[in-house]
Amino acid sequence: MNLIDLLGYFGAFLSAITFMPQVWLAWKTKSVGDLSIWMILIVITSCVVWLVYAVNVKSGPVLAANLIVLALSLLLFYFKLTFKKPK
């Protein structure tokens, strides 16, 4: 594996963990009013598209990264539906 491949894997790793601190903050505060539901829906849609792409081009890193992001964005979507905004 050369340096550029490594860079790609590092990028995929960072992209995969992007929503971890956001899920943690939302869970801790039970507050998601400032999160855009459209952002979450676009992320879910893009993950599905990337997963189909990854299976077809047989890319393990893209598959793994998007499975993690899909799980985290579904969690954010669930939080968005269940945590009530304070009045």
Rounded Cα–Cα distance for residues 22 and 19 (Å): 5
Tell me how many residues contact its own copies (CB under 8 A): 36
3-state secondary structure of 30: coil
CA-based nearest residue to 19, from 45, 39, 48, 49? 39
Residues in region 16-75 near its own copies by CB under 8 A: 17-22, 24-26, 29, 31-39, 42-43, 45-46, 49-50, 52-53, 56-57
Q: Which residues bind its own copies (CB under 8 A)?
A: 4, 7-8, 10-11, 14-15, 17-22, 24-26, 29, 31-39, 42-43, 45-46, 49-50, 52-53, 56-57
